[in-house]
Amino acid sequence: MRYVQNQTVKGASHADAGGECQDASLSWKDEDMAMIIVSDGHGGERHKNSAIGAKLSCQITMSHLREFCNNVGNEWLIHNSKNTIRRLCISILAEWIHEISCIQNADDIVSYGCTLIAYVQTKHFWLALQIGDGRCVVLNKANEWSQPIPWDDRCMLNMTTSLCDEDAVNEFRFAYGDAESMPKAVFICSDGVDGTFGSGDLLYGFYANIMKSVCDDGIETVTAQLPEVLSHYSRTVSKDDMSIAFML
């Protein structure tokens, strides 16, 4: 986990209309763990506070993942792993709802609706969780790209599951593994990115180019260029907010 980065840019459609960016992203690492998080607020009048919802979901998820990794024993991978992750998802969702309820004059929770993708890695295990659309892509030790989190067929066109759904706790999907299955690289993105590159080879090629640029030009150069690159693709293709986070 030498490099951990995230970037969010306002979509062309929002910029043209004078609207705010509905996406949020975070990345963090120390000597023992690293994590990346992306959240995409739904936008529109029905979800007018979703930018707030997305920022809250990233902050809350980071806090809970750090606590989870610091407290959980490695045996969770063998014993009741799914139940352990389910409890983690419940705690993230419960605090997200609570924090919204504490906002002065808070509107209906639906107005804060957003998706969430998070990936965390320690020296002993990795864990990825998601609700809604967007993509989590990994490159394994054999240099093969894959998407470890099962896809939800309810996420299609402009429809997606969300943290604001009544049954949100049962809409989380996840994947996990031990140190032997640790990927070489992990990329997560909002649907503005996979809306631009699709969910297959073009997306993998975009990520491979980022990795090559890091090797050729350095992480500082890539980090500085990413906002312009993402804004270009938003302007020319998806028109949507664009968020990407990765660890190499």
Domain range summary for the chain, segments of one domain joined by +: 4-247
d(CA 20, CA 152): 28
Kindly report the CA angle at 114 between 112 and 120, in degrees rounded to 5? Answer: 130
The proportion of the chain whose per-residue pLDDT surpasses 70, expressed as a percent, equals 100
pLDDT score recorded for residue 217: 96
CA 220 centroid distance within chain: 22
pLDDT score recorded for residue 73: 81
Confidence at 149, pLDDT banded by 50, 70, 90 = very high
- Say if residues 219 and 5 touch (Cβ distance below 8 Å): yes
> Would you say residue 159 has pLDDT above 90?
no
44 or 202, which is more confident: 202
pLDDT score recorded for residue 106: 76
What amino acid is encoded at 204 in this protein?
Answer: Y
Provide the mean pLDDT of the chain: 95
Phi-psi region of 80 (alpha: psi -120 to 50; beta: other; left: phi over 0): left
Q: How confident is the model over 71-123, as pLDDT tens digits?
A: 998 788 888 899 999 999 999 999 999 999 999 787 899 999 999 999 999 99
Question: What is Dmax (Cα atoms) for the chain?
Answer: 52
- Unique residue bearing structure tokens 């639906």: 110
Q: Which CATH number fits domain 4-247: 3.40.50.10470, 3.60.40.10, 3.40.50.1820, 3.30.420.40?
A: 3.60.40.10
Give mean pLDDT, residues 12-36.
94
d(CA 227, CA 8): 7
Written as six digits, the tokens of 14 are: 């929002």
pLDDT score recorded for residue 156: 85
pLDDT score recorded for residue 226: 97
Give mean pLDDT, residues 1-26.
92
- pTM for the full model? 0.96
- Say if residues 24 and 174 touch (Cβ distance below 8 Å): no
Residue 131: which H helix or E strand, with range? strand 125-131
> Would you say residue 158 has pLDDT above 90?
no
pLDDT score recorded for residue 1: 62
Written as six digits, the tokens of 241 are: 């907010």
- Say if residues 168 and 89 touch (Cβ distance below 8 Å): no
